[in-house]
Amino acid sequence: MADHVDNPLRRPLPDGIVPEVEVARTEDRWLTVVLSMLGVMMAIIVVSGALHALHPPSNVETIDATTLHLGGEFAESNLGTAAEPDGSVTVRMIAQQYSFVPDCARIPLDTPVKFRITSPDVIHGFLLPGTNVNTMVVPGYVAEVRTTFSRPGVYDMPCNEFCSSGHHGMWARVTAVPSEQFPHLSPVERTSCAKQ
């Protein structure tokens, strides 16, 4: 019976007035609940971000959008898939109204792939569904994303930033081929998906 009397929740109160000490205790309890929910949600974001390698998609690297075609890294002859000395590959593309140049790239499976993309006109998007590749392509900046393809096949890449009237038709394609097959592809085959 003693705890029946001591429990402030059960103590009869005059006219529904809750004692201040009980209000404070209830608020403390809610604060604890809310703070632990916040902690759990932050932990989920941080852990899943780390496990799935989610990160701000681009590096801050600027480029003169008005002279892309005149030379340098994004001159026409440098576009497409290039093999690096360390065995990885780099894919350079230009996203422009309303196409990717080149609009297709072949890349080797199970190999680190770095995409470097820039735009000469407006903001475009670069998205590889089913992968963690998703970035905006902003004029004046080089968007860079890295990934590795473990499933062979064709990956369709829609432009995912509205870039005016032809946006819906702006698609590119990445074809992942077995890594032993890749070195035998000619430079043209690496940057074209046309059937040979």
Query: What's the Cα-to-Cα distance from 90 to each of 9, 23, 46, rounded to whole Å?
Result: 68, 62, 29
CB of 127 to ligand CUA, least distance (A): 10
CB of 118 to ligand CUA, least distance (A): 13
Residue 38: alpha-carbon gap to chain centroid: 24
* C-alpha torsion 186→196→168→73, nearest 10: 10
Nearer to ligand CUA, 83 or 101 (CB): 101
Structural contact between residues 135 and 145, judged by C-beta atoms closer than 8 angstroms: yes
Nearer to ligand CUA, 49 or 169 (CB): 169
* C-alpha torsion 127→128→131→134, nearest 10: -10
Binding site for ligand CUA (CB under 6 A): 95, 98, 124, 159, 161-163, 167, 170
CB of 188 to ligand CUA, least distance (A): 25
Nearer to ligand CUA, 106 or 124 (CB): 124
Nearer to ligand CUA, 89 or 143 (CB): 143
CB of 151 to ligand CUA, least distance (A): 26
